[in-house]
Chain A
């Protein structure tokens, strides 16, 4: 079982409290009715499914209830870092140093779009 650090609760909790929520940093098209079938398939179905470093979303469903992002190694299942939703894709720290804290999710939400 994984031990996951929720960046909102700021503590390590068991995987049982969390729900995996798919690949991170996939932007929904602005006008989804206007895109082609190929673009929709790309947005909706096609995923990187990386072997190694992956960026994914998790939800602390039995905790604070919030979505956040994580960088994880899919071979060792080790979490490299977690960071708040809305932040851009983070560089994985070499030494495992934690991300710079931000005050609130709302404060950064606009930048991420």
Chain B
């Protein structure tokens, strides 16, 4: 793999940009691998990368039904933060945030991580108490988070309406300065390129149709639309389709798949300096480097795999955006789409071993998996390589729904969870 650098850009500029090579290869699948990862999104590709980089396991295939990053990795609103309430959550999201900080250098790929700050608006006494509890919990755990008065919030985001007569008055805000955004496609592509360079096979347009198990119940490999591929270890990282894939191995998981929508506006000049979220009125917004306002809406109430979603969900969010930022009322929305999120009963992810020997699962990231991509991938690789979870992910096991040791982030979660 040729390294990307300013010299490479200069060299190619002189040669008419004819020397760029494909970022990853698309080899024919082997008959078997040491590890198969089902799902070529950020989490799956990242896990393959870290398996190769940190655990020396390079005989790995990532099998993707569609194209890389075409699922939730390419459909989210790219928000990154780690200001969660419980230690299990803070552990993995902060691990992730630290990896984000060095990810572009690590992958030699510009993921455009931008720690521009994530601000959560408080509208009432309950919000204020809840956010301050979060801030205190975060700071005690070594994670940055601070309280802002309405005036300080306005100074940070000048377009914010803090008038006392506003439809949704603001009595303060929580700000995580290290939070921000990254470029979603670049994350998938960067991991794919770096993994492919280390020998990982990336197999796109190949659907897993079954999981073959041996006489002892152990995993033997996966049936795919391109034939059987053997592996003693299979990691499932299939996001909204995790229930479907796990069912192939006879494992039921406590998930609901719901559409979650987002939309972007026409491109504007730089106007919006950070990410602003309002949990109470259900809106979140940032501005991409292309200038589009990126707006996240909510999930539909019912199970669905349709990748669309109801119109009333996005109009509800836009109503709130227009009240909070009156100047955006005349902005035209350009595109809208949906992704299928896999939600657990306690709104915390599941990463761990399963009752099937050799089968590992990484799912339940729900509406907030993007921010966790590097951390989740890194710890999932550890899980697959060692056969047992890393200390930072130990609490996220599937068994917690039997033992009752839930991680109840639901009540505390923000909108863009």
Assuming the contacts A38-B402, A47-B256, asked whether A16 and B302 have C-beta atoms less than 8 A apart, the reply is no
Interface check A27, CB cutoff 8 A: no
Contact B257 A49 (CB under 8 A): yes
The reply to whether the CB of A102 lies closer than 8 angstroms to some CB of chain B is no
The reply to whether B303 and A41 contact each other, CB–CB distance below 8 Å, is: no
Interface size of A by CB at 8 A reads 26
Does B312 lie within 8 Å of A15, measured CB to CB? yes
Partner of B256, one of A41, A44, A49: A49
Number of A-B residue pairs, CB cutoff 8 Å, is 67
Instruction: List which B293-337 residues lie within 8 A (CB) of chain A.
Output: 301-306, 308, 310-312
Chain A residue numbers with a CB within 8 Å of B257 are 49, 51, 74
Number of residues in B with C-beta < 8 Å to the partner? 24
Q: Judging by beta carbons under 8 Å apart, are A20 and B301 in contact?
A: yes
Q: Does A37 contact B (CB under 8 A)?
A: yes
The answer to the question of B255 belonging to the interface, with a C-beta cut-off of 8 Å to chain A, is yes
> Which residues of chain A are within 8 angstroms of B311 by Cβ–Cβ distance?
1
The chain A residue with its CB closest to the CB of B406 is: A45
Interface centre among B255, B257, B301, B305 (most CB of A within 10 A): B305
Q: Does A62 contact B (CB under 8 A)?
A: no
Chain B residues, CB < 8 A from A72 = 302
In the complex, B98 has a CB within 8 A of chain A = no
Whether A46 lies near B305 (C-beta < 8 A) is no
CA distance A51 to B242 in the complex (A): 11
B252 within 8 A of A: yes
B143 within 8 A of A: no
The one of B255, B302, B345, B402 in contact with A20, judged by C-beta atoms closer than 8 angstroms, is: B302
By CB atoms of chain A within 10 A, which of B253, B301, B404 has the most?
A: B301
CB of A99 within 8 A of chain B? no
Query: Would you give the 0/1 interface string for A32-57, flagging 1 where the beta carbon is closer than 8 Å to chain B?
Result: 00000110111011111111001010
B402–A74 touching, CB < 8 Å: no
Q: Does the CB pair A45–B254 fall under 8 Å?
A: yes
Are A74 and B303 CB-contacts (below 8 A) given A15-B310, A15-B312, A49-B256?
yes
Q: Is the CB of A47 within 8 A of B310?
A: no
What is the CA–CA distance of A46 and B302 in the complex, to the nearest angstrom? Answer: 16
- Inter-subunit contact B301/A51 (CB<8 Å): no
Q: A9 at interface (Cβ–Cβ under 8 A)?
A: no
Does A56 contact B303, Cβ atoms closer than 8 Å? Answer: yes
Is A45 within 8 A of B256, CB to CB? no
With a 10 A CB-CB cut-off, give which of A20, A45, A49, A76 has the most chain B CB atoms: A49
CB of A49 within 8 A of CB of B306, answer no
Decide if B301 touches A41 in the complex (CB within 8 Å). Answer: no
Q: Is the CB of A45 within 8 A of B401?
A: yes
Q: Which residue of B lies closest to A14 (CB)?
A: B312
CA–CA, A56 to B255, complex, Å? Answer: 15
When distances are taken between beta carbons in the complex, the residues of chain B under 8 Å from A41 are: 254, 401-402
B245-282 vs A, CB cutoff 8 Å, 1 = contact: the mask equals 00000001111110000000000000000000000000
Contacts of B404 in A (CB 8 A): 37
Q: Is there a chain A Cβ closer than 8 Å to B165's Cβ?
A: no
**Looking across the interface, which residue of chain A has its beta carbon closest to that of B252?**
A46
- Nearest residue, chain B, Cβ from A16: B312
A74 touches B305 (CB 8 A): yes
Q: Within 8 Å CB of B303, what residues of A?
A: 20, 49-50, 54, 56, 74
Does B403 contact A37, Cβ atoms closer than 8 Å? yes
- CB atoms of A56 and B302 under 8 A apart: yes
**17 additional A-B residue pairs with CB within 8 Å, beyond A50-B303, A51-B257, A77-B308:** A19-B301, A38-B402, A41-B254, A41-B402, A42-B252, A46-B252, A48-B252, A49-B243, A49-B255, A49-B256, A51-B241, A51-B244, A51-B305, A56-B303, A72-B302, A74-B303, A75-B306
Query: 12 A-B Cβ contacts within 8 A?
Result: A1-B310, A46-B253, A47-B243, A49-B243, A49-B253, A49-B303, A50-B303, A51-B305, A74-B257, A74-B304, A74-B305, A76-B306
